[in-house]
Amino acid sequence: MVKFVNKSVGSLDPGFSCTMLHIARLRAAELNILERQCALVFDEISLKCELTYDKFKDRIIGYTDKGQVATHALVFMLRGLHSKWKQAIGYFFTHNTVAAKGLAEHITECVQKVSEIDVNIRCVVCDQGATNISALRQLGFSEANPMITVTGVQQPIYVIFDVPHLIKSVRNNFQKYDIDVSGQIGSWKYV
C-alpha cells in the first residue's frame, strides 16, 4: 500500500499535505458552488507504538514533532455536504493527545488553506472530547454561539458533534445512572 501511495501521490509526511490540497483543488474545479460546500472532520486515532526506518528518506518514522513516540494520529478530512466526496488533507502524530492550543491552531490553518482552494467549510464535525471542546472555545464556540470564526474566512463555521459519539455518551450515562423523567424512572437494568 505504501508503494502504491508513493507512486500515485508521492510521500505523505505529517502536516497539511500540499499534494492532497492540490487534489482537492482539482476536484473543486469540477464542482458547482453547492457541491463545494463541505464539512471539516477531525479525530485522533490510536496507533501501534512502533518505530520504523524509512530507507528512502534515511530517517526513523514514529516520532512526534517534539521527539516523543507517537501514540495517536490527528487526522483532518473534508467531506462534501451536497455531494458524496471526501478527501483527507492532513495528519499529525501526537503523544497521548494534542494540546487544545495546538488543535485550535491546526483547525485555523486548515480552514485558511481550504478557503484558498475555493472550497467552503460550513461546519466542523468532531467528538466531544475535552481537548476538542477547549480548542473550539478558543475559536469562539460556546453554547450561546455554536460556531467558530477564522481570520480571513468570511462565513461562520458551525460546530456539530459526531452523532455516534453522542449516542455512545447517552448509553454510557444510562448504564451508570438512572434517568428520572417527570417521576418515571428509566434504568439500564430494564434494557
One-letter amino acid identity for 6? Answer: N
pLDDT at 5: 47
Has residue 187 been placed in a domain? no
Has residue 160 been placed in a domain? yes
40 contacts 124 by C-beta, under 8 angstroms = yes
pTM greater than 0.85: no
Total domains, the chain: 1
Domain coverage including residue 94: 9-177
Q: Which residue has the higher pLDDT, 61 or 185?
A: 185
List Cβ neighbours of 45 (8 Å cut-off, separation of 6 or more): 72, 73, 75
pLDDT mean over 141-161: 93
Strands (E) across the chain are located at 15-16, 37-46, 52-54, 59-61, 72-80, 86-94, 120-126, 147-148, 157-161, 179-181, 184-186
CB atoms within 10 A of CB 27: 17
Has residue 62 been placed in a domain? yes
Q: Which of 22-26, 48-52, 129-133 has the lowest mean pLDDT?
A: 48-52
Has residue 54 been placed in a domain? yes
Has residue 189 been placed in a domain? no
**Is the C-alpha dihedral spanning 28, 84, 93, 56 positive or negative?**
negative
> Kind and range of the H or E element at 75?
strand 72-80
Q: Which residue has the higher pLDDT, 101 or 186?
A: 101
Has residue 28 been placed in a domain? yes
Strands 179-181 and 157-161: unpaired
Strands 184-186 and 179-181: antiparallel
Has residue 150 been placed in a domain? yes
Largest CA distance in the chain: 67
Has residue 4 been placed in a domain? no
pLDDT tens digits, 35-80: 999 999 999 988 887 777 778 878 777 766 777 777 888 999 999 9
Q: Which residue has the higher pLDDT, 141 or 68?
A: 141
